[in-house]
Amino acid sequence: MADIVVRPTLKFIKAGYFGVLLFIALVFVICATSGWSFIIPAAMIVLFIWPLERHIKNKTQKMIISDDKLRYERGLLNKNIRTVQLVKVQDVSVAQTFAQRLLRVGSIEIETAGGDSRLIVHDIDHPQAVADIIMQRAQHHGTMAPPQQQGSGQL
């Protein structure tokens, strides 16, 4: 099976860009009527920092689901990578607020056996489908028979 790459949604970031553009348009109209045109470039630079920072943060996070493991990567300059063997996945939960349900977005919580046993990935598109894929691959990998030893088994 091919690896599946899952990234956080861009829906909220696009809404942020739209909101900033709408606000800049409002400022432009106010400044054009009062003659304060120097504020517009400064407002654009300052206001675009918030959605741009969120966009960069979004692009530096991903979850890769392969046949036998799940890898969660986060960070641009400092990189944190967490790898979980799918055999150790015990439970996958999906949490959604009402607004997230309307947008088909949610958080996935993955419980594993072992030390740091919880991995939470926020703002995933179609989280139930992703959770089903993780559980399906975990069950498929967990039910595979161990390789048979060659030979007669006698010394």
Are 67 and 1 a contacting pair, CB within 8 Å? yes
Rounded to the nearest 10°, the torsion over CA 48, 50, 51, 55 is 120
Average pLDDT, the chain: 83
pLDDT at 21: 87
pLDDT at 145: 45
- Structural class in CATH, domain 4-142: mainly beta
Q: Enumerate the domain spans of the chain.
A: 4-142
CB atoms within 10 A of CB 105: 20
CB atoms within 10 A of CB 100: 19
User: Residue 5 pairs with which residues in a beta bridge?
Assistant: 64
Are 130 and 6 a contacting pair, CB within 8 Å? yes
Average pLDDT over residues 62-71: 92
Q: Among 9-13, 45-49, 101-105, 119-123, whose mean pLDDT is lowest? A: 45-49
Pairing label, strands 69-74, 80-85 = antiparallel
